[in-house]
Amino acid sequence: MKILLATNNLGKIREFEFLFNNSDFKLIHLREFSDKEIPETGNSYEENAFLKAKEAYRITKLPVLADDSGLEVESIGNKPGIFSARFAGQKANDDKNNKKLLKELQNKSDRTAKYVSVLCFYNPKEKIEIYTYGELRGSIGKEEKGSQGFGYDPLFNLKNTKRTMAEISFKERMNISHRTQSTKKMLAELNKLQNN
């Protein structure tokens, strides 16, 4: 089955390609049809993932896999959450977002955090809509460390380790990440559909 991946984020594309590598599904990229970013106007990860899936389906008429993910830091009310990509404003980049997060946490002793990933598989032709969830717990460091990964990874300290998400190899990342968890659950659901 061909599935459209509703993202133009190169970091996410690399991860999904790896995770789908040995599956029966072939990922098609949204950028083959459109290079426009789909607006995230929902009030939850689920809503944003669904909005992306719905719009990508409208453009391509293919079954769609869409993801919305974010970082939640407890001591600042689970921010940035669904605004993770644009925490420092609409034109934000990773550097600006990370600087803003460090500033907000300046006087906080509790730096507990988690990464969240919600996936939506959408195929209205077959009346199918499936959601899966993954999370990775850790804490936010006081400075950036490492050059792997993307987003908040240089600040995200993995639980029970002395390393950030940006200091581990891609292979290690693909064993533990929030996106890996939600994708493995999704692949199990898609395999069930395929076998029915």
Q: Does domain 2-195 have CATH number 3.40.50.11740?
A: no
Average pLDDT, the chain: 94
Name residue 107's amino acid.
N
Of all residues in the chain, what percent carry a pLDDT higher than 70?
100
Give the whole-angstrom CA distance, residue 6 versus residue 31.
Answer: 9
Specify the pLDDT at position 8: 85
Specify the pLDDT at position 9: 84
pLDDT at 52 over 80: yes
Specify the pLDDT at position 112: 97
Backbone angles phi, psi at 130, to 5 degrees: -125, 140
Residue 139, helix vs strand vs coil: strand
- Name the residue among 32, 40, 121 with its Cα closest to residue 87: 40
pLDDT at 39 over 90: no
Over residues 23-32, the mean pLDDT reads 93
Cα Rg, the chain, nearest whole Å: 17
pLDDT at 196 over 80: no
Over residues 148-153, the mean pLDDT reads 92
Active site residue 68: yes
Give the pLDDT band of residue 137 (cuts 50, 70, 90).
Answer: very high
Query: What spatial distance separates the first Cα and last Cα of the chain, rounded to whole Å?
Result: 14
pLDDT at 152 over 90: yes
Specify the pLDDT at position 173: 93
**160 in the Ramachandran plot: left (φ > 0), alpha (ψ -120 to 50) or beta?**
left
| pTM, 2 dp | 0.93
Specify the pLDDT at position 83: 94
Specify the pLDDT at position 108: 94
In the chain, which residue ranges form alpha helices assigned H by DSSP?
A: 10-20, 45-60, 94-104, 170-176, 178-195
pLDDT in tens, 183-193: 999 999 999 99
pLDDT in tens, 157-168: 999 888 999 999
**Catalytic residue (one of 24, 68, 110, 153):** 68
pLDDT in tens, 82-131: 999 899 998 889 999 999 999 999 999 999 999 999 999 999 999 999 99
Strand partners, 103: none
> Where are the domains positioned within the chain?
2-195
